[in-house]
Amino acid sequence: MIDRAPLELERFLPYRLSILTNTVSQAIAREYERRFDLSVTEWRVMAVLARYDGEGLSAREVAERTAMDKVAVSRAVARLVAAGRVTRRTHHGDKRRSVLRLTAKGWKVHDAVAPLARAQEREVLARLDAEERAWLARILDKLLMA
């Protein structure tokens, strides 16, 4: 049986996910790109550095925790270091590895952006009722695991 019925793009899951992701991400990204000269990739790097602060993550660990590839991380880190938002040192005992940490300046940016991000998330979730939010969380968990 040949499957020739026209594909209805607006009912097609990958398409709908793509639209939703773009609108949700862009809404906030534009804001902090403009106000802080901070790209999405840079923000993600800052977020994980903030979260695992004190440990001093390597670029590879950042890549793992942000689902970005190492090239993207390398570039984001280079910009963050140039902007004085992140320090990069060499790992004791493994000169290949870098040790990344937020600077005080980096923390200030983080503390300004984090509430914006949270507010944006709340705004989206506010359009759902409690039951829908619970299902959404569950569905994402399921689809995202391995």
Q: Which residues bind its own copies (CB under 8 A)?
A: 2-4, 6-10, 12-22, 24-25, 28, 44, 47-48, 50-51, 53, 65-67, 111, 114-115, 117-118, 120-121, 124-125, 127-128, 132, 135-136, 138-140, 142-144
Name the one range near DNA by CB under 7 A: 66-74, 108-116, 117-125, 126-134: 66-74
Q: How far is the CB of 67 from DNA (least distance, A)?
A: 10
Give the burial string for 80-99 (b: 16+ CB within 10 Å, else e).
Answer: bbebebbeeeeeeeeeebbb
Q: How far is the CB of 42 from DNA (least distance, A)?
A: 9
Q: Which does 17 bind (CB under 5 to 8 A by kind): DNA, its own copies, none?
A: its own copies
DSSP assignment of 74-129 equals: HHHHHHHHHTTSEEEEEETTEEEEEEEEE-HHHHHHHHHHHHHHHHHHHHHHTTS-
